[in-house]
Amino acid sequence: MVQAPFAFTWQAQSGSHTIKVVASDAANNSAQDSVTVTVSTAAFSCRSFSATNLEHVAAGRAEAYTKWLNPYARTIGGGDDLGLLGSTYYSATTTVSETQPGYFVAGGCP
C-alpha cells in the first residue's frame, strides 16, 4: 500500500492542465478528485559557447564519436559535426549554441 504524502512530477507546456486522481483500497472502495493547475514557463533565450571540442564534450554540449578511426565531436541534440575532438594539447575552438534547453547546434545564436 502506498502511503501519503504523494508527489507527482511532469513536464508540461504553458497553459491550464487538469490532474485527475483516483484512489482505491483493498475493499475495492474508490474515490476520485481533480484539480486544474496553470503552468507558465519563462521564455528560453539562446546561449552561445565558444570552447575547444574537448571542453564542449566535458560540459555536456557535445559528445565524442569515432569517424574514420579518429575521435570527433558532434553537438548534443542537433548532431552537428564539430570536427576532430582534439586533445589536452591541441583542439580547435568552435562555437555551439543552445537553441532549446539541452539542444545544441553548431554556430552562434540566430
Examine residue 24 and state whether it is found in any structural domain, yes or no.
Answer: no
Examine residue 36 and state whether it is found in any structural domain, yes or no.
Answer: no
Q: Are 85 and 73 in contact (CB under 8 A)?
A: yes
Q: Are 90 and 102 in contact (CB under 8 A)?
A: no
Examine residue 33 and state whether it is found in any structural domain, yes or no.
Answer: no
Examine residue 56 and state whether it is found in any structural domain, yes or no.
Answer: yes
- Per-residue pLDDT tens listing for the chain (110 residues): 556 666 667 666 778 888 888 888 889 898 998 888 888 777 889 999 999 999 999 999 999 999 989 999 999 999 999 999 987 677 779 999 999 999 999 999 98
- Strands 47-52, 93-100: parallel, antiparallel or unpaired by DSSP? antiparallel
Examine residue 65 and state whether it is found in any structural domain, yes or no.
Answer: yes
The predicted pLDDT at position 95 comes to: 97
* pTM recorded for the entire structure: 0.61
How far apart are alpha carbons 66 and 70 in whole angstroms? 5
Domain count across the chain: 1
The predicted pLDDT at position 107 comes to: 96
Cα–Cα distances (Å) from 7 to 15, 21, 33, 107, in that order, read 21, 12, 15, 40
As given in the structure block, the three cell numbers for residue 101 are 534547453
Examine residue 67 and state whether it is found in any structural domain, yes or no.
Answer: yes
3-state secondary structure of 55: helix
Examine residue 69 and state whether it is found in any structural domain, yes or no.
Answer: yes
Examine residue 97 and state whether it is found in any structural domain, yes or no.
Answer: yes
Q: How many CB atoms lie within 10 A of CB 98?
A: 20
Which range of residues forms the domain containing residue 67?
A: 47-106
